[in-house]
Structure 1
Amino acid sequence: MAFPDLRVEIQAGGVWTDVTADTFTRRQQVTITRGRADEAARTDPGRCQLGLNNRDGRYSPRNPMSPYYGLIGRNTPIRVSVAGPTRLVLDGSISGTVDTPDAAPLDIVGDIDLRAEVEIDWTAGDLNQTLIGKWDGATNQRSYALRVYNGQLQLSWSNDGVASLVAAVSVPTLPDHAAVRATLDVDNGSGGRTATFYWAPTLAGPWTQIGSPVIQAGTTSVYASTVPLRVGSPDATHTPPRVPFTGSGYRFEVRSGIDGTVVAVPDFTTLAPGTGVFVDAVGHTWTLQGTAEISDRLIRFSGEVSSWPSRWGVAGQDVWVPLEASGILRRLGQGAKALDSTLRRRVPTDPNLLAYWPMEESRDATQAYSPIAGVAPMAVSGIEFAADDSLPGSSPLPKISAATALSGQVPRGPDGAWRVEYVYKLNDYPATPTTLLEVRTTGTYDRLQIEVRPSNVRLFGISTSGDSSAATQLLNIGPTDGFAQTWNRLQLWAETASGSTTMRLQWVTIGGGALGLSTTLSGVSAGHVTAVSSTPGAGLDQRDLYMGHLSVMGTRLSLIYDFADHGFTGETAGDRMLRLSQEEGVPVALSGAADDTLGMGPQRPDTLLDLLGQAADTDGGILGEQRDRLALRYRVRTGLYSQPPALELDYQGPGLAPPLDPVDDDADVRNDITITRIGGSSARAVLEEGPLSVQPPPNGVGVYDESVSLSLATDDQAEPIANWRLWLGTQDEIRYPSVHVDLAKAPHLADAAAAVVEGDRITIANPPPWLPPETIDLIVQGYTETFLPHRWDIVFNCTPGRPWLVGHTDDPTFGRVDTDGTQLAAAVTADDTALSLAVTDGPLWTTDPADCPLGIRVGGETMTAIRITGAVSDRFDRTVTGGWGTTDTGETWTLTGGATSDYSVQGA
């Protein structure tokens, strides 16, 4: 990375314009702030502060002499970048690809070898990201593709252009910048085919195999499609859609045969920024499409300028604009109104909807509003609005009584198919027959009436001829189990085909099953619905009925109420963020898999930002902003576990600048945690013993309690969350709130330091002798970055990283379990290389040489045990790493690097 080569650009009239030369550094440095301080509950909007020289008035939006007049103003986009490696940049949009036309060498039908060197988030959830492929599902021209989806590396191919075949492995922990490779042996000699996956630091290798080869039954072949070979090959026909990757591409290879002939080799590192067309080393012409670009910039900040204040000195020699741009969180938090209930938001999205009345009015309303253009409000009387708020997917709904009358007119829809649906809760069955709803149609039956009785539910069709009417019982459903005492959806639909009409009446218990009947009537037409009404009458005396979200659709089939009726209860936090992102048009990138996040309770009306914050609070990850575009980013909690350091610093080396101020305080201590499920029960976790326990000093620190209400799917989620928060709040560790890196003194650290984002782990080795000797382990919560001529500083906001080093099965570092209690049996000095120990509780330690070396921690000192001997009591031989000090008999110690159940131990 060239140092630091700062560039500031504004988007004037939709065109990115370089204004670096006007950056006014004499009065104001360029400062970027992101993330949160310590472990604040929510992330603050990102900020970028800088000054622009405005002596000629060009940055005064209302100055007609400015070349930017009419082109800049409120929320003008701005971005700040530094020099970076030349590469292909894709933003994930389906138009952003690079392609070369079909050619004979690309029509590989046998063994194939695909390779890609990219920089992406390998854990990105629910993004079906294609790296390179020759694939078009819309025209059944599928050949081969290498892609990443939900933590898996996948090789897709087709033997006929239509059917997709897939082999996949789980992606191991990889650096963001890495190369991956997949090979396909179409005939492995044993009647099958074999796919093998690899990774390497770059396309030059060396290659490391990922997992075991994927062996599938049956030989295969690859279809020779006619579509172009694409980097970022999309397929909108796939579910979920295969889209171009989001990130950077460096080099790609397609080989005919495993380690065979290179037939395509686009290398983006050799191109000039802005290149649109180029020829690769084997003669293929490649063209950048859509949003794809060749760039040598790394975006440090992307935001919006909300105001352009002018300032000047007394003599008028200096005129400048002190800008403060903000990330997307600021705009989302400005005057945002609460989103409607999930039903109110979702039902109008059905393309077949003709009429809809949510009935979520306030108590004093006199009619029921319709959000559908051209549909008049529903006329009502004898109704008590906002009487019941117990349906998770709705705002409060009205109570219907014996005196209620309501009616709504329905615009004309297509003849021959319709559907009427609404939610209701009836506390008990009426003693006498009661009509719940009447549907008027232009079909054979002018009116259809849904009637409930003490033991059944009936549907009547009424035909009117002149002054006489004839009622026909069409359906009789009984017994009526589940019809009352819970929230249900009542559905009535009709469809005419071949001279007959099928009608179905059923109710669906919200969150449960359905009960109903159908009938097919020859010579009967469905027509279309003209009106709906309800006048229950005396049958509802002493009965409570609540209803709402009444809709009429021009189709018999609709699933639009599904899941929205219970507010998407049980939806994971990640899935909720992605759904809200799609519904509101606010991009949210998920770092990690949605399936790895916790289940949530119902989504109640609230602002978008608060709903996203609730999801982050439930899961316990980090919600923040994307650095390179106006978008949000959520890092799932499990993505913070046991990660390799993104930046490794050395106290004795260059780069680490003062101050490094340790703090040994109680700022983050929480030893009595109560977690309450909103609308449900609670769980409590208390640390009863230990230095940070609720015991009064000197045995503990006293009570530091906390009570948190979370949106949880079930009550039993509260206890493990309480214990996890207790674990985080009772770490007997020194805090290092900030870490200052001076990149002018250590430019070799620039690439790694610039790559650090919120949630990354950083370490500091070789601390000074007045601090504990172990490597300082930290999680970055945010940072402040400052630029001046020839200076680039980053100050990271940090919290302890050790609590996030958790156990992982089959991991050489984190796949070991501690015993329940071990103490030194004899005191040791700094020079001792052997420890005698006594197990006070639980099994003895392993003496299998294959289990060593392993890390141990004795009285705060980290050691390496190279051998363990002894049958009844254990003896540790250790390496001496500088001799920190002496340790007394009885000193407790633990394993470092996590704990799981697959570590071998002896005895009991």
Structure 2
Amino acid sequence: MPLLVEAGWGGLVQYPWSITWTDISRYVDTQKAGVSITRGASDELSETQPGTATLRLDNADGRFTPGNPASPYYPFVRRNAPIRVSVAIMPTRTGAAPYPMAMLGDDFDAERVNTTRWPTVYGSAVQVDGRARIQCNPGAFSGFLTAREWTLTGSKVTAKLAKVPAANGSSTGAASMWVQSTTAGTRIGWTYNPATGVLYAHSQTGFSDAGQVPLTYSAIDHAWLRVRESGGTVYWETSGDGFIWTVRRTLATPAWVPAQTHALEFTGTRTGGTGDYVEWDLLGAEVRPRFWGMVNQFPVDWEGLVSTVTVTCTDLFKRLNRLPALRSMLAQEILHQDVPGVGDIVSAYYPLTEPSGSAAAGDISGGGCGALAVTQVGSGGTLDFGSDGLPDTGDTSATFTPASATQGKYLTGDLGATFQANSAAYPQTIELWFKTTTAGRAILGLYEPNLDHQYVLALNGSGELVIEHTEAGGTLTVYNSARVLNDGQWHHIVHDGYTSKQLYIDGVAGPFTLSVVNTTALRTLHIGGYRGARLFNGQIAHVAINHVTGYIGSVISPDHYEAATTGYSGEPADERIQRLARYAGLSSVTVLGSTHDPVASQGPGGSSVVARMREVEATESARLYAERDYYGLAYQSRDVRYNPDPTSETFTIDYADLETRQVQLADDDQKLVNIVEAARPGGATQRVTAPSSILAFGEYEQSLNVLKTSDNSVLDAAYWLVSRYANPGPELREVPVEAYTMPNYLDILDADISSYFSVYNLPAQAPASTLRVTVEGYTETLKEQSHLIQFHTSASLNDTVWVLDDAVYSVLDSTTRLAY
């Protein structure tokens, strides 16, 4: 069981696809300290906690000392360095030859080559530092070659490409992994050419393959290579971690593959230049990720002259928990109008939420636009911040009260050279909110310094919204929406300046599509008037201007109307979780399950993204946690746990195989709930009770505040809680397993949050000979030839739901719980 610990020196966890991982496993203390990992929750009524990992590193040469310029990892030994922990389970050869190739394994950690496994080692090939090192020298071949006793049919061969050779002046070269037939030059495998930096998926006959598939080599994406045969097809696959695989080529299985036994060969050579080598590791390993996160710190300790660094690490919840409180949902949507492959595209954003008495309004887009100053025209009038804003946002707005159309105050500012350059290169989308009863006024204006290009959003004398613009030469064009908007209500305006040229008013496309509006190189922004005239009388909020650099397409934001007016109330819970994840900079969430009720608004700001996600999780009796194999979140709906199918248990285990000194059957009132008082925002407060439970055990009350959109849904949630915990039965809460010694080790490692398994052959004192449990979390300690996992579990019976006429799930007073 090699432990695989990798650090992403210089990488950022928020950009996991760009991290190049460095194997630091050889420095981890697996003899005494081991690696300790925690994950999940203690029980099904508790929230999942941030996952942690602790490991001690040998720092004899100072490589893990922060700020040490002699470290090979300098200057990236620093807090928040990405780290991941996996175990690599090596195969065991059993039975008689020919053997399936999946049984061929070698971690290359022994002091010398295993000559039984590699009877032929030729050229300058050696085994060193836990790897097979194959020289790629000019005019010579080196390699490791097995005996011909393996078969690929229905099997696979996997290896970690730990180091590729440099070009070193060669005209061509080859570092290869081949499944060899009995005919010279007929083979399947992978070849890397150091002269070109290209990785090839090969199926050669006579040393040639007209259908070879070339891949520009990536140390990130091609760290692991695999050849697999299944059902008459050969697959060439690559992986960045040895766990998640990508198919790069497929081919109908050549006739020689099922007809022959094979040898596996690692080989290297080159033409010209100077020598180098390729290194292979973990041949045949089955990788199972255990932790993905970041290092909190690198504390250097000494015992005499012996230096170690014991690092503690936390999964992505560390980053999520330190994010600042969210703004309103509307503001978050504006700030995160991301375009695939481009990212956030807001260029200037003035929410106008400054406190009363402020003399300027600031840009919060991060694009470097200047502040907008309160500017006096003539005399009189006021401009103040802090007025009531849009109802569902909790945000304030700016109020403009001029003495006349030409006497008062408005906002002006220089948006800067970067904004102007983007405006010259790309059209813009403009959006804002306003409220007024006065016609004939300008809401917003933009212009370039020489006034050749100008753009104005205004109300004409009839209160209709109009767009005015001038192109080079100063010709004025006016587009009239024919929509009267000076009705004293808040209105949302979006002008899509991209390919559609559409105008949206209150989330609905306007009565026309604008012709091309070529107002470029805009730089100066006026809000609440334009160039000293048509001073606005009313309120304005959330002015945003977007440029999508390098992107051609239509990017519009009419749905921001819903963000401000409803806070997306009624959207399914899984969509809300993904929306919140986007606010946190996560591109996606793995959604498991299919029951996703509508949730209420979380429109106003002030709470953290994790707090909002937890509100949704609690509302839905769901599970939210960090993935253990990459930088991402998983969200499980409650139906993931409904009626676990015995045929799909993750594993089963005999009671005798547990670490039985720590097994406990609990029957207490820790989870007992027989009275629930439940409420929702703006809804009724309702009470659900379980009279028989109250009579037997007394009152155990719990409050439930959920983001439901109807009172009936609140009642359903309350009944679900009471039906599960009015009289919880005895349960195994801790199941400790020395997994390394188990023949189903891989199955045990696959168990994660909400997985279930059965413990059978329980002692006679148990309420049943077999108990099925659901995994809520675990703690584990990995050492040399030891992997102790303490599963925190709950009774799977708590999640059974009624199925009509089912022999198991329609038992009166036992499994008649209605699904929620």
The reply to whether TM is greater than 0.5 is yes
Answer yes or no: is 1:34 the counterpart of 2:34.
no
Deviation at 1:383, TM superposition (A): 2.8
Deviation at 1:588, TM superposition (A): 5.1
Deviation at 1:367, TM superposition (A): 1.2
Q: In the alignment, residue 662 of structure 1 is paired with which amino acid?
A: L
The one of 37, 43, 50 equivalent to 1:45 is 50
- The CA distance in 1 between the partners of 2:715 and 2:256, in whole Å, is 55
* 2:623 aligned partner: 622
- Cα distance per residue 1:267-296 (max 9 Å; x no partner): 9x999899999xxxxxxxxxx9xxx99744
SS in 1 for 2:614: helix
Answer yes or no: is 1:740 the counterpart of 2:736.
yes
Answer yes or no: is 1:768 the counterpart of 2:763.
yes
- 8 A Cα contact 2:431 2:495, kept in partner: no
* 1:365 aligned partner: 358
* 1:673 aligned partner: 676
Deviation at 1:686, TM superposition (A): 0.6
- The CA distance in 1 between the partners of 2:55 and 2:465, in whole Å, is 72
SS in 2 for 1:638: helix
Deviation at 1:407, TM superposition (A): 3.4
SS in 2 for 1:727: helix
- The CA distance in 1 between the partners of 2:615 and 2:157, in whole Å, is 33
- 8 A Cα contact 1:588 1:634, kept in partner: no
Q: In the alignment, residue 288 of structure 2 is paired with which amino acid?
A: L
The one of 701, 705, 719 equivalent to 1:704 is 701
- The CA distance in 2 between the partners of 1:587 and 1:303, in whole Å, is 17
- Cα distance per residue 1:240-286 (max 9 Å; x no partner): xxx9997358999765xxxxx8689899x999899999xxxxxxxxx
* 1:662 aligned partner: 665
* 1:592 aligned partner: 592
- The CA distance in 1 between the partners of 2:547 and 2:27, in whole Å, is 60
* 1:378 aligned partner: 372
Deviation at 1:474, TM superposition (A): 6.0
* 1:642 aligned partner: 643
- The CA distance in 2 between the partners of 1:49 and 1:798, in whole Å, is 23
SS in 2 for 1:31: strand
* 2:686 aligned partner: 684
Judged with a 3 Å threshold, the aligned counterparts in structure 2 of structure 1 residues 664 and 549 are, in CA distance, closer, same or farther, namely same
- 8 A Cα contact 2:454 2:469, kept in partner: yes
- The CA distance in 2 between the partners of 1:271 and 1:620, in whole Å, is 53
Deviation at 1:900, TM superposition (A): 8.5
- Cα distance per residue 1:78-122 (max 9 Å; x no partner): 52424155699xxxxxxxxxxxxxxxxxxxxxxxxxx99999xxx
The one of 713, 716, 738 equivalent to 1:720 is 716
What RMSD in Å do the two structures reach over aligned CA positions?
A: 5.6
Answer yes or no: is 1:321 the counterpart of 2:309.
yes
Summarize the alignment of residues 322-361 of structure 1 with structure 2, pairs less than 5 Å apart: 322-334=310-322, 336=324, 338=326, 341-346=331-336, 355-361=348-354
* 1:424 aligned partner: 433
- 8 A Cα contact 1:339 1:608, kept in partner: no
* 1:301 aligned partner: 291
- The CA distance in 1 between the partners of 2:572 and 2:267, in whole Å, is 42
Q: In the alignment, residue 726 of structure 2 is paired with which amino acid?
A: T
Equivalences, count: 637
Answer yes or no: is 1:551 the counterpart of 2:545.
yes
- The CA distance in 2 between the partners of 1:561 and 1:354, in whole Å, is 14
Greater RCO (CA < 8 Å, at least 6 residues apart) = 2
- The CA distance in 2 between the partners of 1:420 and 1:626, in whole Å, is 36
- The CA distance in 2 between the partners of 1:562 and 1:293, in whole Å, is 54
Deviation at 1:36, TM superposition (A): 1.4
Give TM-score scaled by structure 1 length.
Answer: 0.57
Judged with a 3 Å threshold, the aligned counterparts in structure 2 of structure 1 residues 652 and 276 are, in CA distance, closer, same or farther, namely farther
Judged with a 3 Å threshold, the aligned counterparts in structure 2 of structure 1 residues 266 and 23 are, in CA distance, closer, same or farther, namely farther
Judged with a 3 Å threshold, the aligned counterparts in structure 2 of structure 1 residues 544 and 460 are, in CA distance, closer, same or farther, namely closer
- The CA distance in 2 between the partners of 1:652 and 1:495, in whole Å, is 66
Judged with a 3 Å threshold, the aligned counterparts in structure 2 of structure 1 residues 627 and 263 are, in CA distance, closer, same or farther, namely farther
SS in 2 for 1:737: strand
- The CA distance in 2 between the partners of 1:794 and 1:376, in whole Å, is 56
- The CA distance in 2 between the partners of 1:626 and 1:275, in whole Å, is 37
SS in 1 for 2:768: coil
Judged with a 3 Å threshold, the aligned counterparts in structure 2 of structure 1 residues 856 and 379 are, in CA distance, closer, same or farther, namely closer
Deviation at 1:557, TM superposition (A): 8.6
SS in 1 for 2:699: coil
* 1:632 aligned partner: 633
Deviation at 1:781, TM superposition (A): 0.9
Deviation at 1:755, TM superposition (A): 1.2
- Cα distance per residue 1:330-351 (max 9 Å; x no partner): 3433465646722441358799
- 8 A Cα contact 2:336 2:582, kept in partner: no
Deviation at 1:638, TM superposition (A): 2.7
* 2:119 aligned partner: none
- The CA distance in 1 between the partners of 2:8 and 2:661, in whole Å, is 37
* 2:506 aligned partner: 509
Deviation at 1:485, TM superposition (A): 5.9
- 8 A Cα contact 1:87 1:250, kept in partner: no
User: What residue ranges of structure 1 are gaps of 5+ in the alignment?
Assistant: 89-114, 120-201, 206-227, 235-242, 256-260, 278-287, 497-501, 808-814, 819-853, 859-891, 902-908
- The CA distance in 2 between the partners of 1:396 and 1:484, in whole Å, is 20
- The CA distance in 1 between the partners of 2:587 and 2:457, in whole Å, is 46
SS in 1 for 2:703: strand
- The CA distance in 1 between the partners of 2:788 and 2:74, in whole Å, is 35
- Cα distance per residue 1:36-80 (max 9 Å; x no partner): 111354322222233344566554445666666656343442524
Deviation at 1:324, TM superposition (A): 2.6
Percent identity reads 19
* 1:388 aligned partner: 388
* 2:85 aligned partner: 79
440-449 or 798-807, which moves further after superposition? 440-449
Answer yes or no: is 1:787 the counterpart of 2:789.
no
Deviation at 1:618, TM superposition (A): 4.0
SS in 2 for 1:617: helix
- 8 A Cα contact 2:429 2:497, kept in partner: no
Q: In the alignment, residue 628 of structure 2 is paired with which amino acid?
A: R
- The CA distance in 1 between the partners of 2:242 and 2:589, in whole Å, is 12
Q: In the alignment, residue 407 of structure 1 is paired with which amino acid?
A: T
- Cα distance per residue 1:742-769 (max 9 Å; x no partner): 336x522422211111111122234333
Summarize the alignment of residues 517-536 of structure 1 with structure 2, pairs less than 5 Å apart: 531-535=525-529
- The CA distance in 2 between the partners of 1:6 and 1:351, in whole Å, is 39
The one of 842, 855, 858 equivalent to 2:808 is 855
- 8 A Cα contact 2:53 2:313, kept in partner: yes
Summarize the alignment of residues 604-623 of structure 1 with structure 2, pairs less than 5 Å apart: 604-605=604-605, 606-623=607-624
User: What residue ranges of structure 2 are gaps of 5+ in the alignment?
Assistant: 11-19, 92-101, 105-153, 159-228, 270-277, 376-381, 403-407
- The CA distance in 1 between the partners of 2:529 and 2:624, in whole Å, is 50
* 2:205 aligned partner: none
